[in-house]
Amino acid sequence: MAINIRSTPTTEAWRALLVAHARVNHELERELRRETGLNLGWYEVLLLLASADEERLRMNELADRLILSRSAATRLVDRLERDGLVERFTCDADRRGMEVTLTDRGRDAFMTAGRLHLRGIEERFGSLLSEDEKQVMTNALERVADANARRRDFRDPTAS
């Protein structure tokens, strides 16, 4: 016996967003791994560092922008550091804190992956929408994100 699940315009929009996100992300991840060996999580760290002042962030700020726990961010940075894509060092201003910065290898990997990733986003997302649809989506999703921000100081990870 099937359960009768109530559907509303809100739940239909939510489901469409989740399914589209999952399908596009799956393809972007597959392409990124195949072409560069990076996964989307690694790419996001490189993106955040590349867009930060002096290509560096404190570990706690990086974790906040990734919306990860401090320990999860540390494990992620450990793997990137092992592969020579980032470096970690003690903060000059606060000897208790750690900062992460891109290495030359990390910068090169980011540039290569970035071109591929942007092309994939355009092909799998942007090319399927009109300019008006993109603007409506941007406005609506920014409003939702702002209303649900974990913290007042949370910023868009892609903002410079």
Q: pLDDT tens digits for 87-137?
A: 999 887 776 789 999 999 999 999 999 999 999 999 999 999 999 999 999
Q: What is the pTM (predicted TM-score) of this model? A: 0.82
The confidence score (pLDDT) of residue 155 equals 52
The confidence score (pLDDT) of residue 87 equals 96
User: Strands (DSSP E) along the chain, which ranges?
Assistant: 56-58, 86-90, 98-102
Domain 39-117 falls under CATH 1.20.120.640: no
Count H helices, E strands: the chain?
6, 3
Question: For residue 37, which of 100, 88, 126, 108 has the smallest C-alpha distance?
Answer: 108
The confidence score (pLDDT) of residue 24 equals 97
Quick check: 102 and 92 in contact, CB under 8 A? Answer: no
Rounded average pLDDT over 18-40 = 96
**Domain boundaries, given as residue ranges, for the chain:** 39-117
The confidence score (pLDDT) of residue 93 equals 72
Residues 141, 7, 25: CA angle, nearest 5 degrees: 40
The confidence score (pLDDT) of residue 5 equals 85
The confidence score (pLDDT) of residue 160 equals 43
